Amino acid sequence: MSDPTAQRKILVAADAGISIGSMSEVSGAVGATFGTDGLILTENDVSAAFFDLKTGLAGELFQKFENYGLCLALVVPNPQR
């Protein structure tokens, strides 16, 4: 059973220098997230191509995080983007 008072280490992409604009950057984000409790991305951390589903970039990111059992949150306060 986990200790509810234990500190969690969650990466914030901007603070960790992580951005997603290409498939290779997806792999880098996965590598940086190992050993942490997850990664938080904002719309400023991903390229416009990320939101164009034809590129496969979003699918690659979410699938890799799922495959490796890593937690990922994408915060998009402006859904019109």
| DSSP-H helix ranges across the chain | 13-16, 23-33, 57-67
77 confidence band (pLDDT: 50, 70, 90): confident
Q: Report DSSP state, residue 53.
A: G
Averaged pLDDT for residues 40-50: 95
Q: Is 7 exposed, middle or buried (0-12, 13-18, 19+ CB in 10 A)?
A: exposed
Averaged pLDDT for residues 31-37: 95
* DSSP SS3 for 38: strand
Backbone angles phi, psi at 17, to 5 degrees: 75, 30
